[in-house]
Structure 1
């Protein structure tokens, strides 16, 4: 079987010839001054305008647009003034906020110092009361009863409530019955108003 050649195949050298012509045309154009013209144009753009070139001055706007422009410029100046005032107020508020924070920190430090002082005072008072209670417990019941007879009933009840039951009973036995009764009522009712929950 014989193969027929396609009509496109017979001119197989035409494509390289056309490509060569395009290449030659491009070389001629770039070599003929086009490249130089492009280079000059790029240099001209990069250079600063010369002093001889006239600087175009803006033309004045029409009267109706000039009024609108003036109103817009006045409004812009008003907005800028308000913005400056708001910035000033914000700065003042920032300063005031810093001062308040500083005062809060000082108050918290003073509160902590006061709490520490109160804790020390409470501990010292508790230690003193515990020591005095121990003294009353170790006294002879007759001597302690004579001392408790001179105390206010609320004050005496406070000490008797802290004493050991046997020592408190001995002191109460040495007191006059009406005084012993009033101290007993105070001792019995001192937790009556305490919350139940």
Structure 2
């Protein structure tokens, strides 16, 4: 601190020491006064200091960060809530689509089951018709077989009643298989007489057919 100039020009030499001492005391009192006032102002908070702006800036930044953090959390929470709602919405949509697909398949399955039921009923009807037709056909064939058997027995009796010479001429004109069928039904003595009147070639053919008829029959 620069001291005030208490030494006037032109002071006598005798009085110079007294003046210097008085000036020093006055300067010391001034310094003490200034120092005490500065301390009082610092304690009362009225005197601004250099570190204060930095502390206030730090406090302001911390307060700003503290007030900003809840906002970011709220944004994150809102975003997560929106994502959750979006996921739930997509899940519900997928479930609805799945339910619609299941209902559609159930309807298709029900229609197929109905079609199969109708087809089964129709098949049962046709099987019954076929069964009745088969029984009718068997009865008809049985009647035909009986009639044919009766006709064959009647013809066999007629051929047996003929003279062997006349029967031989008739059998000579027949197909060998047809002639063999009648000769196999005749009595052996009558068949022998008819065979004796045939030509050797026809008699041989009929004999081969009669011999081979039962060749494939099991022996046991």
Shorter chain as denominator, the TM-score bin is 0.5 to 0.7
Equivalent position of 2:174 in the other structure: 151
1:75 to 2:94 alignment = no
**Larger Rg, first or second structure (1 or 2):** 2
**Structure 2 gap ranges (5+):** 1-83
What stretches of structure 1 of length at least 5 have no aligned partner? 1-60
Q: TM-score, length-normalised on structure 1?
A: 0.62
Q: Which residue of the partner structure matches residue 103 of structure 1?
A: 126
- Structure 1 residues 1-197: aligned runs within 5 Å: 64-196=87-219
TM-score normalised by L of structure 2: 0.56
Q: CA deviation at 1:184?
A: 2.0
Instruction: Kindly tell me the number of residue pairs found equivalent between the two proteins.
Output: 137
State the distance in 2 between where 1:181 and 1:73 align: 90
Q: CA deviation at 1:66?
A: 4.1
- Separation in 2, partners of 1:71, 1:177: 96
Partners in 2 of 1:171 and 1:113 — Cα distance? 41
Distance 1:70 1:132, change over 3 A: same
Runs of 4+ deviating beyond 6 Å? none
Shift in Å, 1:62: 5.3
| Structure with more relative contact order (C-alpha pairs < 8 Å, separation 6 or more) | 1
**Using the alignment, how far apart are the partners of 1:72 and 1:154 within structure 2?**
81
